[in-house]
Amino acid sequence: MFFPDFRLVSRGVALFALIPLFCLPLSAADWSGNYDSPAAYYEDAEGLFGDELRDALHGIIAPHNVLSYNDVTLAVRVLDEDPDNPDNLLLIYSGISVPKTSNWVEWNREHTWPRSFGASEGGPAFSDFHHMYPCNPGVNSRRSNYSFDWLPNGNPDPGAPGSKVDGSRNLYEPRDEDKGRVGRLMMYMDVRYDGSDVGTLNLTLGTTRDNFSPDIRRFGNLPALLEWNRMFPPDFRERRRNHLIYDGFLVGNRLIVQGNRNPFIDYPDLADALFTADLYRTWGSYKAMHFPMEVWNDPEWTDPLLFADASPVPMLFEFSQDLAPGTGERGNLPFVARTSSGRISYFHFTELREHARSGVEYFVEYSETPLTEDSWQTYSYTSAQVLVTGSTDFARDLRVSDLGLPGAERTRHFRLRVDMNYPVDDPTGVVFDPVGTFNESGSIFAYFEAGEEGLRETDWWGQVDDGDYPFVTQEHHGDLWVSAEDEEAVWVHDPALGWLFTGRLVQPHFYSVSADAWITFIDATTRPQRWFYDWSSETFRHEGDLRP
């Protein structure tokens, strides 16, 4: 794939550069600013994954001003201002709008990463603006220090419509509008606080919670937080908040600036590149592997349903086959293997490991009449019919056997459909036809894989060579011109016999336009001494009798 030159200007690393006094800070009433990160802010993280990416991001976001806990009270009045009412702010977990002046009555300060799990007083995490939100006191109490997770059977939080709580398991599920922001701020805390700050331990996301280790505070549930990050992308409020924390804002005549950003708000795909890239593939980690960060948020470059410049298949299909974009060639994508007699033996394709977590679903489809779209059906193969021919850390090559069918019935054509359920269960997908995807001519013969010497075996005219389609060479009849949009209705022009008609369900019989008769060729004869059986007269006739 061709990419433009994404050169990034160099970034200063001095701490004072994080306090941009040379530009005007955004005011509380400004809801139309550019909230993107500076061009060079993440250049040290470009192209990195896993632990290397973690180290780079920590180095980018760790240098910041540590502000006081009292500053949080001032800050949330600006950071969480209600865009429809500048006298109010919006509460976390409920979205309820309350007056800014009613603190400690209608709202207080919520540590989304709990103090008892490492965001304790005396360390920078205690007052980090990125995870401090205004919250209803009752909701704050019910959320307690619980981990975040899906709670399909949780109890509704009476003070936070849409949020749920399960006190027996120490779990809390925020409403959908807050799920994405909660996931991203928790991942920020994991990366920002690695135990190197005085007063704050190593904050670590996982699947379990533990606040008894001497150096680490584990909190959960990371898989759910990753899902929320994918399902609920940052809105303008979250992006504005992130930018104000970095760029600064005025409270009276005072400029308040923490001076760092949450990278998962600027580039949500960093979450998969960091937390899942070493475990399984997602569309986010795939984008991180193959595209410069500058275009990650640009669907014009990274929409999975778009075609890569050098490939005839969409990027979604290349992702599902564990291929780099632009490398979709016939040789390394799904194909059909045949037996020496020309019958189908196996359908080969590649499947991502843990593909449900990757957000894709695979369907092998088959048809006896592949040019008729309604004829395609899902092939429900069993595990006994699947042979693994090779594997990598993230994918495995499968062979689905059709050998269980009698030889005469193995005339099926196969294709692969891939549905994308990322980031939500929306079965948008693509179809890869091992022949049709690459066959620009539309030859019906192209569904039959070439055997020895480039010949193909058809159900209705035996061996043919369609290398010059629509001109087809048949061993008994020479060069023929074929016209067919559907293999149920195939018109053939024979230079000696004129127009003939047949089809998959008609063969081995042909209708001769010139003779106005149905005929069957005697394959033991060849041109120019061909013989056929005339069904109307019930006699054998010579080729010369049939000439127009």
Based on the domain organization, do 140 and 236 belong to the same domain?
Answer: yes
Predicted confidence band at 495 (pLDDT cuts at 50, 70, 90)? confident
Based on the domain organization, do 212 and 341 belong to the same domain?
Answer: no
Which of 95-104, 219-228, 501-510 shows the lowest mean pLDDT across its residues? 501-510
Instruction: Go through 79-117 and write b for each residue having 16 or more CB atoms within 10 A of its CB, e for each that does not.
Output: bbbbeeeeebbbbbbbbbbbebeebeebbbbbbbbbeeb
Is 294 within the bounds of a domain?
A: no
pLDDT higher than 70, residue 222? yes
Instruction: Give the span between the Cα atoms of 241 and 492, in whole angstroms.
Output: 69
pLDDT higher than 50, residue 456? yes
Last residue of one domain, picked from the residues 229, 259, 288: 288
- Mean pLDDT to the nearest integer, 423-430: 78
- Mean pLDDT to the nearest integer, 216-241: 95
Based on the domain organization, do 190 and 66 belong to the same domain?
Answer: yes
The 10 Å Cβ neighbour count of residue 246 is: 25
Based on the domain organization, do 343 and 471 belong to the same domain?
Answer: no
Based on the domain organization, do 260 and 323 belong to the same domain?
Answer: no
Is 353 within the bounds of a domain?
A: yes
Do residues 226 and 276 touch, judged by C-beta distance below 8 A? yes
Is 236 within the bounds of a domain?
A: yes
Based on the domain organization, do 308 and 351 belong to the same domain?
Answer: yes
Backbone phi, psi, residue 416, to 5°:
-125, 130
Number of domains present in the structure of the chain: 3
- Mean pLDDT to the nearest integer, 273-282: 93
pLDDT digits (tens, 9 = 90+) for 341-385: 556 678 889 999 989 889 999 999 988 777 778 889 999 888 888
Is 439 within the bounds of a domain?
A: no
Is 498 within the bounds of a domain?
A: yes
Instruction: Go through 259-274 and write b for each residue having 16 or more CB atoms within 10 A of its CB, e for each that does not.
Output: bbbbbbbbbbbbbbbb
Based on the domain organization, do 273 and 308 belong to the same domain?
Answer: no
Instruction: Give the span between the Cα atoms of 188 and 241, in whole angstroms.
Output: 14
Based on the domain organization, do 243 and 376 belong to the same domain?
Answer: no
pLDDT higher than 50, residue 7? no
Based on the domain organization, do 172 and 277 belong to the same domain?
Answer: yes
pLDDT higher than 80, residue 30? no
- Mean pLDDT to the nearest integer, 71-85: 96
**Cα atoms in the Cβ-side hemisphere of radius 13 Å centred on 256:** 25
Report the mean per-residue pLDDT for the chain: 86
Q: Which domain holds residue 245?
A: 23-288
- Mean pLDDT to the nearest integer, 62-71: 96
Is 4 within the bounds of a domain?
A: no
Last residue of one domain, picked from the residues 372, 407, 432: 432
Based on the domain organization, do 384 and 269 belong to the same domain?
Answer: no
Q: What is the pLDDT of residue 192?
A: 98
Instruction: Give the span between the Cα atoms of 33 and 45, in whole angstroms.
Output: 25
pLDDT digits (tens, 9 = 90+) for 114-170: 999 999 998 999 999 999 999 999 999 999 999 999 999 999 999 999 999 999 999
Is 179 within the bounds of a domain?
A: yes
Based on the domain organization, do 282 and 317 belong to the same domain?
Answer: no
Residues 6+ positions from 477 with CB-CB distance below 8 Å? 461, 494, 521, 526, 527, 530
Is 296 within the bounds of a domain?
A: no
Last residue of one domain, picked from the residues 366, 398, 432: 432
C-alpha Rg value of the chain to the nearest Å: 33
pLDDT higher than 90, residue 441? no
Predicted confidence band at 219 (pLDDT cuts at 50, 70, 90)? very high
Q: DSSP code of 26?
A: B
pLDDT higher than 80, residue 36? yes
Based on the domain organization, do 210 and 320 belong to the same domain?
Answer: no
Three-class SS state of 405: coil
